[in-house]
Amino acid sequence: MRIAAEPAMIVWFVGAWLTCRASAMRLSELDYNLPPELVAQAPLERRDEARLMVLDRRAGTIEHSRFYKLGDFLRDGDLLVLNDTRVFPARLFARKPTGGVVELLMVRPVDEPPGAWLALMRGHREVREGARLTLDDGRALRIAGFQRPGRPLVVSDGPVSIESILDSAGALALPHYIHRAPGPADRDDYQTVYAAQPGAVAAPTAGLHFTRELLAKLAAAGVRAAFVTLHIGPGTFTPLREPQVEAHSMEAEWYTIPPATLQAMALARRTGARVIAVGTSSVRALESHAITGDAEGATGLFISPGYRFRATDVMITNFHMPRSTVLAMVMALAGREEILDAYREAVRHRYRFLSYGDAMLIL
């Protein structure tokens, strides 16, 4: 797995530069009432049995369906764009020389120092540069420096690479709103059936609803599929805190769009077919390419209301947290009031929310 890039290849975006909103969006405009019992704590037994809310922007209608009926709302020639990133076991627990426990969320490898990873660190007391951290199996890590407070650069303190340590000792990092420890089943459940490129801390959850059978059924109906890779990091889930939403700065995530996907998108445009982005991460990759022309790079694109979509016609997504960047994105596509009305409808009908929850199709 390689996520770090040469500095010249990195392109940063700030969503506020790209919006044309007449007035700033207030953080409170991203609020809604989410009953805690509607936050899904585990997946359904069958992925495509998830409920599907269909929001038709032109007709102003909401329809209730099931995900396995997705093909009823798609057309021959439509292009599904799916994020094929693969979640890796990113969480490690280690002990400081004093005996205290430190939790590390390994985010991605970096170029300097050699073999180092950028991590998030949580513990009761600050850990200093040079500190040695010991794992339960006796292997050790060392804090080589800090990108900024709470963001250490971690290296292996021995001959075994961090990648190997994660393979054997890493734990899956389920989102904080899932109030249970990850179990063996989550290794498969919290992974799309088409996951291929390791590098994500979190799953592209809109894609969790697809089964191989459903993808085959859609293909037989003339719905084409293409892939992008965007390695989802912790920045996607960082809560918005600035009173003015557009002031938020997204942490960059690495994306790649293969030539075959660019060709499929060009064909969709020539034939009048729709580009259907599966998940907010696919949207970020597609829109980043549309802005810059770069098929590969690190994007910090933050999409909020007022943004003009260039590459995305339709979106499949889950139901998101209040005050989140992903909620701002779906409001940018469908309209703030329209999304809030849809979310109120979802609460009334007891939809399941967030990562292991139900889905929405925004037409």
Q: Taking CA 287 as the corner, what is the angle to CA 282 and CA 289, rounded to the nearest 5 degrees?
A: 100
pLDDT computed for residue 149 by the predictor:
80
Could you tell me whether strands 132-134 and 117-122 are parallel, antiparallel, or unpaired per DSSP bridges? unpaired
Give me the domains of the chain, ranges plus CATH numbers: 7-87+184-362 (3.40.1780.10), 91-169 (2.40.10.240)
Q: Which residues lie below 8 Å from residue 183, measured CB to CB, with a gap of 6+?
A: none
Residue for token digits 């770069």? 294
Please identify every stretch of the chain with a pLDDT value under 70, giving residue numbers as ranges: 1-23, 123-124, 236-237
Instruction: Give the pLDDT confidence of 191-235 residue by residue, as tens digits.
Output: 999 999 999 999 999 999 999 999 999 999 999 999 999 999 887
Residue 296: the pLDDT is 96
The angle, 0 to 180 degrees and rounded to 10, between the axes of the packed helices 325-334 and 280-292 is 70
- Give CA–CA dist 221/80, Å, rounded: 13
Measured CA to CA in angstroms, residue 245 lies from 20, 287, 304, 328, 337 at distances of 13, 19, 8, 9, 16
* The token pair that represents 22 in the structure block: 């007449």
| Phi/psi-derived region of residue 220, left when phi > 0, alpha when psi is between -120 and 50, beta in every other case | alpha
Residue 53, strand partner residues: 64, 360
Per-residue pLDDT tens for 104-138? 999 999 988 889 999 988 866 778 888 899 998 88
> What is residue 190's predicted lDDT score, i.e. its pLDDT?
97
Whether the CB-CB separation of 186 and 173 falls below 8 Å is answered with no
Residue 214's CB is within 10 A of a number of other CB atoms, namely: 18
- Residue keyed to tokens 């300097």: 112
- What is 148-208 written as a DSSP string? ETTEEEEEESSSS-HHHHHHHH-B----TTS-S---TTHHHHTS-TT--EEEESS--GGGG
Apex 177 CA angle, 53 and 39, nearest 5 = 35
Per-residue model confidence (pLDDT) at position 93: 92
Residue where the block lists tokens 């990133």: 85
